[in-house]
Structure 1
Amino acid sequence: MKEPHLEIKTRYVHAGLAQKIINKGSVIGVLTTTTISEPAKKLFDNAEIAWAKNIPESAFMPSEAEE
């Protein structure tokens, strides 16, 4: 069995992409730096997958001060 994990996307998440993510069966949350369509949000909600949109890329990249 696959380990539960988060998906991080740097592009728009539409219903087709959301369904592909759901079909993986191991995703517990999706974060995107852009937006998520309303149908995709509903698919994630129905699959009990947490989601967050418009997360700045800087939240995932170490700053030069931290390196």
Structure 2
Amino acid sequence: MARADTTVATERDTAPAQPDEWRLRYMVGDLTHYTEWTTDFPTVENYYEQYRRGDYAHDVVIERRAVIEG
């Protein structure tokens, strides 16, 4: 007879949850620029709004990466 897995999902995870990191990617002319990776999303979001509304940058994108330490 099969039995259900009663372990909680957090007990099965092999890596502890870490905060995601964010950065801004934007183009000026033909060159791609990046900001530093940071866990402070509101700062990156603020830069996004400024660059998106500005005249010199285009293709402004917020990038995210998951951080796994283990």
Q: Do they superpose with TM above 0.5?
A: no
Per the normalisation by structure 1, the TM-score is 0.29
Q: Which has the higher strand share?
A: 2
Larger radius of gyration, structure 1 or 2?
2
